[in-house]
Amino acid sequence: MSPLTVVWAYRRTGKFAFHVLTGALETDARAAGVPIVFANGVEAVVAALREALAAGHRVLVGWSFYSPDFALLAAELQQVKARIDAARVLHVAGGVHASAEPEATLRAGFDLVATGDGERLVQDLVHALRTGGEPRAIAGIGWLEAGVLRRNGRAARTALDEFPPFGPAHDRFGPIEITRGCVYACRFCQTPYFAGASFRHRSVANVRHWARYLVGRGFRDFRFLTPTSMSYGATGPEPDLAAVEALLAAVREEIGPQRRLWFGTFPSEVRPEHVTDASLRLLRRWVTNKALILGGQSGSDRVLAASARGHDAATVERATALCLEYGFVPHVDFLFGMPGEAPADVEATLALMDRLVARGAKVHGHTFLPLPGTPFRKAAPGVLTPAMRQRLLAMASKGQLYGQWQQQEVTARELAERR
């Protein structure tokens, strides 16, 4: 076995992905004894590389980023390589952007890209590097050969139960991922194109196991990661409320009445058509949160249909009213500057937002990003008209609107410029 160190180029935005990969390595006997370093920023990565190389190790440097962070991380890679350019160092980029844009990612200087689910892939990669195997033989790996993209397929989709939801042996925790992939195909969203267009659920028994573990480690807050909270256990768009209740009841039983169970709120959300008397009764019985995050996106039925959201604006309004009736404060997500938005669509969105906040909801604003890998990747970046910006700033100043919508307008432009 050749000595190997794994260095995660560890950033706030991608950190939970690294925790999952860490957990995958922790559970693979073939990776036993491999040091894992969490290196935040260029200086930390360089320091980790120096130490590992001085000890005679090969080094796998893992990078994972979302499309908006690609330029920043590519610049950091260049800074690292300018200081340490050793043949024994392999820079591998994974995650949503590397999967959507493997060639551009490789041209930015990464040695390999890893596309698809990372758990099995990182196990096999570490094993190959320790035993003199060929990393390019691993499913999901891509590379440049004489300037041309070569790929060895996509990594096999994994069952969530097969891996821990985080890296407990390294004290790296995060929300428990209960569902991966999404049956909806909202045209602005990378999730179904990256993680698959079907739901893969972690079993109740497995979630219960990890909830119990976290209780033992002294945790008081329990959060879950899913593209659509009320879809737990479902195979299609129709929620399976019995499955959701079985999950929440099991977690509550493990954590007791005093610890906090967050569901349908950060870091996950609820689709508006899943808000019903039955689903809200269920949530009220089991969860701690008083806020629910609803995906609204637009007040224009035309824009909602064009983005294949699968619900109309009236559903958003109805869901908001029902949440309030049941004592929840809805935080409704909106996307500004959607493709094809005409002045009447903008006005419909602003009017809906006004009606929602008048009822007591909050609005979480985003600006549309033409994300790689999505059907809208070639659309014009989201732009706010001066009149819209004025209305949004007025809402923000009253505490009715929050979010990164101003920064995202800049990011949207940068994404479009890089295509």
Identity of the residue, 173 or 194, whose beta carbon is nearer to ligand SF4 in the bound complex: 194
* Binding residues for ligand SF4, total number by CB under 6 A: 11
Identity of the residue, 50 or 223, whose beta carbon is nearer to ligand SF4 in the bound complex: 223
What's the min distance (Å) between Cβ of 192 and ligand SF4?
Answer: 5
Identity of the residue, 118 or 295, whose beta carbon is nearer to ligand SF4 in the bound complex: 295
Identity of the residue, 38 or 184, whose beta carbon is nearer to ligand SF4 in the bound complex: 184
Interatomic CA distance for residues 381 and 413, integer angstroms: 6
Identity of the residue, 46 or 230, whose beta carbon is nearer to ligand SF4 in the bound complex: 230
Site string for ligand SF4, 293-332 (x = CB under 6 A): --x-------------------------------------
Identity of the residue, 252 or 271, whose beta carbon is nearer to ligand SF4 in the bound complex: 271
What's the min distance (Å) between Cβ of 220 and ligand SF4?
Answer: 28
What's the min distance (Å) between Cβ of 86 and ligand SF4?
Answer: 40
Are the C-beta atoms of 340 and 382 separated by less than 8 Å?
A: no
Site string for ligand SF4, 169-208 (x = CB under 6 A): -------------x-xxx--x-xx----------------
Please report whether residue 227 would count as binding ligand SF4 according to CB under 6 A.
Answer: yes
What's the min distance (Å) between Cβ of 405 and ligand SF4?
Answer: 17
N-terminal to C-terminal alpha carbon distance within the chain: 42
Identity of the residue, 157 or 389, whose beta carbon is nearer to ligand SF4 in the bound complex: 157
Identity of the residue, 64 or 228, whose beta carbon is nearer to ligand SF4 in the bound complex: 228
What's the min distance (Å) between Cβ of 25 and ligand SF4?
Answer: 27
Tokens of 360: 């007591």
What's the min distance (Å) between Cβ of 237 and ligand SF4?
Answer: 9
Torsional class of 95: left (φ above 0), alpha (ψ -120 to 50), beta (otherwise) = left
Are the C-beta atoms of 222 and 214 separated by less than 8 Å?
A: yes
What's the min distance (Å) between Cβ of 88 and ligand SF4?
Answer: 39
- Of 289, 377, 308, 304, the closest CA to residue 345 belongs to 304
Identity of the residue, 5 or 268, whose beta carbon is nearer to ligand SF4 in the bound complex: 268
List binders of ligand SF4 among 253-292 (CB under 6 A). Answer: 271
What's the min distance (Å) between Cβ of 131 and ligand SF4?
Answer: 38
Interatomic CA distance for residues 291 and 320, integer angstroms: 11
- Of 73, 88, 74, the closest CA to residue 3 belongs to 88
What's the min distance (Å) between Cβ of 231 and ligand SF4?
Answer: 8
What's the min distance (Å) between Cβ of 105 and ligand SF4?
Answer: 22
Please report whether residue 363 would count as binding ligand SF4 according to CB under 6 A.
Answer: no
Identity of the residue, 19 or 271, whose beta carbon is nearer to ligand SF4 in the bound complex: 271
Burial (0-12, 13-18, 19+ Cβ within 10 Å), 58? middle
What's the min distance (Å) between Cβ of 319 and ligand SF4?
Answer: 14
CA geometry: angle 144, 146, 147, nearest 5 deg: 55
Please report whether residue 228 would count as binding ligand SF4 according to CB under 6 A.
Answer: yes
Identity of the residue, 254 or 341, whose beta carbon is nearer to ligand SF4 in the bound complex: 341
The residues binding ligand SF4 (CB under 6 A) are 182, 184-186, 189, 191-192, 227-228, 271, 295
